[in-house]
Chain A
């Protein structure tokens, strides 16, 4: 059986995390560093040390904004954003209650509308997000303003071949 490090490395499918020599360029340039409880290079080390529970239950994996700054600056081409994605997916697959429920609620709401129509319908996505989080009043004024300006389209064209979209989701997404 693979240990945690081997499992994560296999799913990244690129440069092994052991290549990190902790120069900390990733953590220094990370725009979310101030709110993440573990820094990017610390996460790499924690994977090596087998800290599975801590990482899959962390806020950090959901707060990463996927800006790709870290991997661009990494002298060893360690794909940190991909590592974070792998940890997110492992966390969801393990049925762990996410430390940042709003972030995951957003992903679910977003993908639900894609599954439904092949394309994102923003008003529908917001209603679905608010229903999941109970944040009915947040950004309401902004949303109404946008609606009045005609920036949000209540009915937007959908993908015609939704059969294939459903098949894609059925085969690839467990969310």
Chain B
């Protein structure tokens, strides 16, 4: 199985351990990833807040490279995934936009790229049974709540991901790794996103509520698939309710017995190693 791979800016920086774990896990599961040629930023919230055309042109440049390669493109960052999907939607529907964007970019945009989430790729293309067979160390005692956040899911008909009110794929991946996925009602509530820099107090309030609800649900950690969600939950949580937060691929690597997790865990704001040691998982 081969895919184009768009890491996005965060996975080279604050979300380093997400990028590394996606790559290590993909390799172990027999997926070949080809980093997209000379990729550039998707523009994220800042582009769509300030200019519609900019918010379409930035992802379109990468979509064109993905089209040329012809493989499904894996995008691990929820924000990038969302912006790519939105751009593709607008380019298919807004009259005249395609020609305008192609002209700006100097390449013809055709609209044939298939945008995929690693959650979906591991869940569907690899499959839960295969995953379960490859588990070397079951994550017994680990009780994560799965936190999906916003941008994988919404708007539902554009993101084409899962039920936007009750997604389950991350939970199912956690179960197949041997963890006890806890049910909670906050898996799709917002963490405050990029307002973390400019409206920190508000984001702390939102993260505080998420963490309180995770604790109430009986979780001993949170698992996510978004670099911004992780950064916020990992660093903006109040001292009294602070659970370790993982990228789902870090836990996959741990369960599959791969090299790397111990190094990645050192990068977290809330050190998850004491919890993992207490459960004999490290």
Of the listed stretches B116-124, B176-184, B186-194, B251-259, chain A binds: B186-194
**B residues in contact with A159, CB < 8 Å:** 38-41
Instruction: Give A73 to B10 CA distance when docked, in angstroms.
Output: 29
Q: How far is the CA of A107 from the CA of B51 in the complex (A)?
A: 11
The residue of chain B having its C-beta at the shortest distance from the C-beta of A86 within the complex is: B52
A76 to B279, CA, bound (A): 49
A167 pairs with B13, CB closer than 8 A: no
B154 touches A67 (CB 8 A): yes
Smallest beta-carbon distance B246→chain A, Å = 15
| Chain B residues in 8 Å Cβ range of A156 | 9, 12-13
In the complex with contacts A120-B9, A149-B267, A150-B267, A65-B50 CB distance below 8 A = no
Q: Residues on B close to A: CB < 8 A?
A: 9-10, 12-14, 16, 38-41, 43-54, 57-58, 61, 82, 94, 104-106, 150-151, 153-156, 164, 188-190, 192-195, 197-200, 202, 206, 235, 266-267, 269
A157 within 8 A of partner (CB): yes
Tell yes or no: A2 within 8 A of B by CB: no
A106 partner residues in chain B, CB cutoff 8 A: 46, 194, 197-198
B267 contacts A100, CB within 8 Å? no
- Judged by a CB distance under 8 angstroms, whether A96 is at the interface is no
23 residue pairs of the A-B complex, CB under 8 angstroms, read A65-B195, A66-B45, A66-B150, A72-B154, A72-B155, A86-B52, A89-B49, A102-B199, A107-B45, A110-B46, A118-B41, A122-B9, A151-B13, A151-B267, A152-B13, A156-B9, A161-B38, A168-B58, A168-B61, A171-B57, A171-B104, A173-B51, A175-B50
Given the known interface contacts A35-B202, A66-B193, A151-B267, the answer about A172 and B53 at a Cβ–Cβ threshold of 8 Å is: yes
Known: A68-B154, A172-B57, A173-B53; 9 extra A-B contacts, CB below 8 A, are: A68-B153, A68-B155, A107-B49, A114-B47, A120-B13, A120-B44, A156-B9, A168-B54, A169-B54
Across the A-B interface, the 7 shortest Cβ-Cβ residue pairs:
A68-B154, A172-B53, A102-B198, A120-B9, A67-B190, A107-B46, A110-B46
Does A13 lie at the interface of the complex (its beta carbon under 8 Å from any beta carbon of B)? yes
Which residue of chain B is the closest to A72 with respect to CB atoms?
Answer: B154
- CB-CB under 8 A from B194, the residues of chain A are 65, 106, 110
A33 to B13 CA separation, bound complex (whole angstroms): 32
A69 beta carbon closer than 8 Å to chain B: yes
Minimum Cβ distance to chain B for residue A95 (Å): 14
How many A-B residue pairs have C-beta atoms within 8 angstroms? Tell me.
Answer: 164
Kindly identify which residue among B54, B82, B235 contacts A172, using a CB–CB cutoff of 8 Å.
B54
> Is the beta-carbon distance between B150 and A69 smaller than 8 angstroms?
yes
Main secondary structure of the interface of A (DSSP, over half): helix
CB contacts (< 8 Å) of B47 on chain A: these are 111, 114
Given A68-B155, A122-B14, A173-B54, A129 contacting B197 (CB threshold 8 A): yes
A139 close to B (CB within 8 Å): yes
B50 and A31 contacting across the interface, CB-CB below 8 Å: no
Q: Is the CB of A171 within 8 A of B53?
A: yes
Q: Which residues of A contact B52 (CB under 8 A)?
A: 11, 85-86, 89
Q: Judge whether A142 is part of the interface by a CB distance below 8 angstroms.
A: yes
A147 to B199 Cα, complex, angstroms: 22
Whether the pair A164, B9 counts as a contact (CB closer than 8 A) is no
Complex interface: chain B residues within 8 A of A66 (CB): 45, 48-49, 150, 193
Is the Cβ of B46 less than 8 Å from the Cβ of A65?
A: no
Please name all residues of chain A whose beta carbon is closer than 8 Å to the beta carbon of B61 when the two chains form the complex: 164, 168
Closest to A154 in B: B13
B193 A67 Cβ-Cβ under 8 A: yes
A110 vs B164: C-alpha distance when bound (angstroms):
29
Give bound CA distance, A140 to B267, whole Å: 17
Contact indicator A119/B9 (Cβ below 8 Å): yes
> Nearest Cβ in chain B — how far from A164, in angstroms?
6
Interface centre among B43, B50, B105, B188 (most CB of A within 10 A): B50
**How many Å from the CB of B173 to the closest CB on chain A?**
23
Q: Which residues of A contact B40 (CB under 8 A)?
A: 114, 118-119, 159, 165
